[in-house]
């Protein structure tokens, strides 16, 4: 095994490891989004004064914004994971094509 071959394996493993990490981030953010969506309040949970001052409307607005941002974060993390995985696949494919071309040239 050559140093270049070892280096390629290390790079591919790093890309795949990072891809897995970002996929885990997406999963974690999905879980946080679900937890935030489950935190519901109704008029019985707050004082009459808080309800009159619009606390529930503010709470629901913030909850909606938070769940939207967590969802976007999960989507972005998934995109990063996919991009890293695609880069590893492309990198490995190019290396195999180059090796094949080089070996074909050697046999000519």
Predicted confidence at residue 81, as pLDDT, reads: 98
- Give the HSE-up count for residue 45: Cα atoms under 13 Å, Cβ half-sphere: 7
Token pair of 32, please? 């946080």
Per-residue pLDDT tens over the stretch 6-60: 888 899 999 999 999 999 999 999 999 999 999 998 888 889 899 899 999 999 9
pLDDT band per the 50, 70, 90 thresholds, residue 3: low
Closest CA to 59 of 37, 29, 34, 31: 37
Tell me what the mean pLDDT of segment 93-103 comes to: 67
CA distance linking residue 54 with residue 83, whole number of Å: 44
- What angle separates helix 3-38 from helix 55-107, to the nearest 10 degrees? 160
Whether residue 101 has pLDDT greater than 60: yes
Measure the CA–CA gap between 105 and 83, rounded to whole angstroms: 33
Q: What is the pLDDT of residue 98?
A: 64
What pLDDT score does 44 carry? 87
User: pLDDT at residue 103 above 90?
Assistant: no
Q: Where are the alpha helices (DSSP H) in 39-54?
A: 48-52
Distances (CA, A) of 35 to 3, 28, 40: 48, 11, 10
């Amino acid at each position: 095994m050559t140093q270049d071959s070892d280096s390629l394996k290390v790079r591919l493993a790093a890309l795949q490891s990072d891809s897995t990490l970002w996929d885990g981030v997406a999963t974690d953010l999905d879980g946080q989004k679900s937890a935030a969506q489950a935190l519901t309040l109704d008029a019985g949970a707050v004082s009459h004064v808080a309800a009159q001052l619009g606390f529930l409307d503010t709470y629901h607005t913030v909850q909606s914004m938070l769940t939207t941002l967590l969802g976007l974060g999960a989507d972005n993390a998934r995109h990063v994971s996919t991009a890293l995985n695609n880069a590893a696949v492309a990198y490995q494919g190019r290396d195999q094509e180059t090796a094949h071309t080089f070996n074909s040239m050697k046999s000519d």
